[in-house]
Amino acid sequence: MAILTLPSFAKINWTLDILGRRSDGYHELRTIYQTVGLADTVSMELTTLPGIDVACDGAGVEGGPSNLAYRAAEAFFEETGLAHQTGVRIWIRKTIPAGGGLGGGSSNAATTLIGLEHLAGLRLPDSTRFAIARRLGADVPLFLVGGTVLGVGRGDEVYGLADAPVTSLVIANPGVHIPTADVFRRFDSQLTAPDPVARLHSFVSALRFRDSQLSVGNDLEAAVMRDYPEVGEARASLLGAGAVRAWMTGSGASVVGIFEEAGAAVSAAEHLGEHGLWARAVETIDQSAYLAALGI
Q: What is the CATH number of the domain that holds 120?
A: 3.30.230.10
| One domain, residues 176 and 243 | yes
pTM of the model: 0.93
| One domain, residues 194 and 74 | no
| One domain, residues 120 and 8 | yes
Could you give the residue numbers annotated as active site?
11, 139
* Domain contains 26: no
| One domain, residues 8 and 118 | yes
Last residue of a domain, one of 150, 182, 200: 150
| One domain, residues 52 and 184 | no
Per-residue pLDDT of the chain (296 residues), as tens digits, is 699 999 999 999 999 999 888 778 778 899 999 999 999 999 999 999 999 999 998 766 788 899 999 999 999 999 999 988 999 999 999 999 998 999 999 999 999 999 999 999 999 999 999 999 999 999 999 999 999 999 999 999 999 999 999 999 999 999 998 887 777 777 766 645 556 566 666 666 666 555 656 789 999 999 899 999 999 999 999 999 999 999 999 998 999 999 999 999 999 999 999 999 999 999 999 999 999 999 99
The boundaries of the domain holding residue 178 are 168-283
Last residue of a domain, one of 150, 179, 203: 150
* Domain contains 249: yes
What does the alpha-carbon distance between residue 91 and residue 94 come to, in Å, rounded to a whole number?
10
| One domain, residues 228 and 102 | no
| One domain, residues 93 and 125 | yes
* Domain contains 69: yes
Number of domains in the chain: 2
| One domain, residues 209 and 242 | yes
* Domain contains 22: no
* Domain contains 174: yes
| One domain, residues 130 and 178 | no
* Domain contains 289: no
Q: How many CA atoms lie within 13 A of 45 on its CB side?
A: 9
* Domain contains 23: no
Last residue of a domain, one of 89, 115, 150: 150
* Domain contains 125: yes
Cβ(255)–Cβ(16) below 8 Å: no
